[in-house]
Structure 1
Amino acid sequence: MPNPLNNATVSRPENLKTKILQFGEGNFLRAFVDWMIDKVNEKTDFNGSVKVVQPIPKGLVDLLNKQDGLYHVQLQGMKDGEPISSIELVKCVEGGMNPYEDYKGFLELGENPDLEFIVSNTTEAGIAFDENDTDYETIPNSFPAKLTALLHHRYKHFDGASDKAPVIIPCELIDKNGDNLKKYVLQYADLWETEAAFKDWINNDITFCNTLVDRIVPGFPKDNLEEIHAEIGYDDQLVVNGEFFHLWVIEGPESIQQKLPFDKAGLNVKFVDDLSVYRTRKVRILNGLHTSMVPVGYLAGARTVKEAMDHEQVGPYLEKELFEEIIPSLDMDMSVEELESFAKDILERFENPYIKHELSAIALNSVSKYKVRVLPSLLQYHAQKGEIPKRLTFALAALIRFYKGSWEGEDTPINDGEDVVSFVQKAWESGDHSKVAQTVLSHTAFWDQDLTEIDGLNDMVTNYLQLIDEKGVNSTLSEDVQ
Structure 2
Amino acid sequence: MQRLHPATLPRLPADIARPLYARDALRAGIVHLGVGAFHRAHIAVVNEAALHASGDLRWGTVGVSLRAADTRDALQPQGGLYTLALRDGAGDGSPRELLQVVGNLLDVLVAPEDPAAVLERIAHPDTRIVSLTITEKGYHHDPATGALRLDAADIVHDLAHPEAPRTMPGFVVHALALRRARGLAPLTLLSCDNLPANGDTTRGIVLAFAQQVDAGLREWMEAHCTFPNSMVDRIVPRTTDADRERISARLGAGDAWPVIGEPFLEWVVEDRFANGRPDWTAGGARFVDHAEPFEKLKLRMVNGAHSALAYLGAMAGLRTVDRAMAEPALRGYIDALMREEIAPTLPAMQGLDLDGYRARLLQRFSNPALQHQTKQIAMDGSQKLPQRLLGTVRDRLAQGLPIDRLALAVAGWVYYLRGTDETGATHDIQDPLAAALAQRLAQAGAATSMQDRVAFITGFAPVFGELGSEPRFVAAVARHLGTLEADGVRGALAAVGADAPA
Q: TM-score, normalised by structure 1?
A: 0.80
- Which consecutive unaligned segments of at least 5 residues does structure 2 have? 11-18, 141-149
Structure 1 segment 22-37 matched on structure 2, within 5 A: 22-37=32-47
The CA deviation at 1:311 is 0.8
Match of 2:279 among 261, 266, 285: 261
The CA deviation at 1:146 is 2.1
1:302 is aligned to 318
1:71 is aligned to 82
2:49 is aligned to 39
1:228 is aligned to 247
1:440 aligns with 2:454: yes
Residues 165 and 206 of structure 1 are in contact (CA less than 8 Å); yes or no, is this contact kept in structure 2?
yes
Q: How far apart, CA to CA, are the structure 1 residues paired with 2:304 and 2:251?
A: 38
Corresponding letter in the other structure for 2:295:
R
Q: How far apart, CA to CA, are the structure 1 residues paired with 2:491 and 2:441?
A: 25
Identity of aligned pairs, percent?
25
The CA deviation at 1:470 is 6.6
Q: Deviations over 1:62-110 (max 9, x none)?
A: 4433211111111113588965421101111222344655566545435
Residues 394 and 461 of structure 1 are in contact (CA less than 8 Å); yes or no, is this contact kept in structure 2?
no
Residues 291 and 363 of structure 1 are in contact (CA less than 8 Å); yes or no, is this contact kept in structure 2?
yes
Change (3 A) 1:126 1:400: closer
The CA deviation at 1:353 is 0.9
1:88 aligns with 2:77: no
Partner secondary structure for residue 86 of structure 2: strand
Change (3 A) 1:379 1:21: closer
Q: How far apart, CA to CA, are the structure 2 residues paired with 1:480 and 1:297?
A: 16
Corresponding letter in the other structure for 2:86:
L
2:173 is aligned to 148
Residues 403 and 412 of structure 1 are in contact (CA less than 8 Å); yes or no, is this contact kept in structure 2?
no
Match of 1:21 among 31, 34, 39: 31
Q: How far apart, CA to CA, are the structure 2 residues paired with 1:363 and 1:208?
A: 29
The CA deviation at 1:229 is 1.1
Corresponding letter in the other structure for 2:33:
F
The CA deviation at 1:226 is 2.2
Residues 405 and 425 of structure 1 are in contact (CA less than 8 Å); yes or no, is this contact kept in structure 2?
no
Partner secondary structure for residue 62 of structure 2: strand
Change (3 A) 1:444 1:325: closer
Residues 211 and 248 of structure 1 are in contact (CA less than 8 Å); yes or no, is this contact kept in structure 2?
yes
The CA deviation at 1:398 is 5.3
Q: Deviations over 1:39-69 (max 9, x none)?
A: 1111223323222334346343244332111
Corresponding letter in the other structure for 1:292:
A
Corresponding letter in the other structure for 1:302:
L
Corresponding letter in the other structure for 1:440:
V
Structure 1 segment 88-167 matched on structure 2, within 5 A: 88-98=100-110, 105-109=117-121, 112-128=124-140, 130-134=155-159, 138-157=163-182, 159-160=183-184, 164-167=185-188
Partner secondary structure for residue 84 of structure 2: strand
User: Which protein is bigger by CA-based radius of gyration?
Assistant: 1
Tell which deviates more after alignment, 4-13 or 340-349.
4-13
Q: Deviations over 1:325-368 (max 9, x none)?
A: 322x3242336953323322321221111222333333346577
Q: How far apart, CA to CA, are the structure 2 residues paired with 1:301 and 1:429?
A: 28
Q: How far apart, CA to CA, are the structure 2 residues paired with 1:62 and 1:278?
A: 36
Partner secondary structure for residue 332 of structure 1: coil
The CA deviation at 1:124 is 2.7
Change (3 A) 1:289 1:303: same
Residues 403 and 425 of structure 1 are in contact (CA less than 8 Å); yes or no, is this contact kept in structure 2?
no
Tell which deviates more after alignment, 306-315 or 404-413.
404-413
Corresponding letter in the other structure for 2:355:
E
Change (3 A) 1:323 1:9: same
Tell which deviates more after alignment, 6-15 or 392-401.
392-401
Corresponding letter in the other structure for 1:143:
M
Structure showing greater relative contact order (alpha-carbon pairs closer than 8 Å, 6 or more residues apart): 2
- Which consecutive unaligned segments of at least 5 residues does structure 1 have? none
1:317 aligns with 2:333: yes
Partner secondary structure for residue 259 of structure 1: coil
Partner secondary structure for residue 253 of structure 1: coil
Partner secondary structure for residue 250 of structure 1: strand
Q: How far apart, CA to CA, are the structure 2 residues paired with 1:57 and 1:404?
A: 28
Residues 167 and 206 of structure 1 are in contact (CA less than 8 Å); yes or no, is this contact kept in structure 2?
yes
Q: How far apart, CA to CA, are the structure 2 residues paired with 1:366 and 1:110?
A: 31
